[in-house]
Homo-oligomer: A and B are copies of this chain.
Amino acid sequence: MAPDTDPTGPRLAALATLLADETRAAFCLALLDGRAWTAGELARHARVAPSTASEHLGRLVAGGLLTEERQGRHRYLRIAGPAVAHLVEDLAAHAEPSGEPPRTLRAAGASHALARGRTCYDHLAGRLGLALTDALTDRGLLSQDTGFALTDRGLDWFREQGIGLERTGRRPLVRPCLDWTERKPHLAGVAGAALCRHLLASGWCVRIGSGRAVKVTDDGELALRERLGIDPGILR
């Protein structure tokens, strides 16, 4: 029996409290695009007064979920790290009951772009992320039969493509990420982040507007078909 003075309960509750508010949850979800937002942008996004946002952001930073960077009169905020991003993603995946179609046209348009491809903190998700993951799996570079791991041939492939896989700290090389639109896992972890950086750096995909949506370029369609046999039609 756990001792009644187990400090884990209060700490778990404190952590959950940070995400237990609609405004703070909206902040964290928005920041899942992996980039830095200003306090004002977040306030407008969540439709609350700047003063309200300021308080919330103070708590999220104090709680270690976000980090801040002051530049002049701006306060830039981002998710504190991959572990936090993973946590929020995981929680969001559990919160989503099932496939529920969006209602408004604008939401439908936005969610269509997001469903096609987007960043999920530092890796790719949406149909694009899934297509990459499936292609790696089909070609025997990634094994999902008995877990989730790169094969030896997969390691070679990353090396051939010139995609470095420097392991930093305790972060896993690969990790499945189950996001809340697709219901299948896609590639995350060090390799997922490296692959995302590589596609963006090569100009194979680009960000759309200011959000987390991304789209594959013409060069990208060619490269992905050549190197991974991905049918461009899937990505549209």
What 1/0 flags go to A89-106 for Cβ under 8 Å of B? 011101111001011101
Stretch of A12-20, A67-75, A196-204, A214-222 lying at the B interface: A12-20
Query: Which of B5, B47, B95 contacts A12, CB < 8 Å?
Result: B95
Task: Contact check, A91 vs B15: say whether CB atoms are below 8 A apart.
Answer: yes
Whether B155 pairs with A11 at a CB distance below 8 angstroms is no
Quick one: CB contact mask for A79-117 with B, threshold 8 Å, 1 for yes? Answer: 000011001101110111100101110110011001000
B residues near A180, Cβ cutoff 8 Å: 8
Contact B104 A3 (CB under 8 A): yes
A7-39 to B contact mask, C-beta < 8 Å, 1/0: 111111111111111101110111000000000
Q: Check: A50 CB closer than 8 A to any chain B CB.
A: no
CB-contact partner of A3 in B14, B17, B111, under 8 A: B111
Asked if A205 is an interface residue, CB under 8 A from chain B, the answer is no
A211 touches B (CB below 8 Å) = yes
- The docked-state distance in angstroms from the alpha carbon of A4 to that of B24 is 13
Alpha-carbon distance A183/B1, docked complex (angstroms): 22
**Bound CA span A10–B22, Å:** 5
Q: In the bound complex, do residue B11 and residue A95 qualify as a contact, i.e. CB atoms below 8 Å apart?
A: yes
With both chains docked as a complex, state the minimum distance between the C-beta of A120 and any C-beta of chain B, in angstroms: 12
A174 CA / B149 CA spacing, docked (Å): 11
A2 within 8 A of B: yes
Nearest CB of chain B from residue A47's CB, rounded to whole Å = 6
- A residues 170-212 touching B (CB-CB < 8 Å): 170, 172-176, 180, 183, 189, 209-212
By a beta-carbon cutoff of 8 Å, the part of chain A in contact with chain B is 1-22, 24-26, 28-30, 45-47, 83-84, 87-88, 90-92, 94-97, 100, 102-104, 106-107, 110-111, 114, 143, 145-151, 154-155, 170, 172-176, 180, 183, 189, 209-212
In the complex, 17 of the A-B residue pairs with CB atoms within 8 angstroms, ordered by the A residue number, are A1-B45, A2-B29, A3-B104, A3-B110, A5-B107, A6-B29, A8-B29, A9-B29, A11-B95, A12-B95, A13-B19, A19-B20, A83-B94, A90-B90, A143-B147, A145-B149, A145-B173
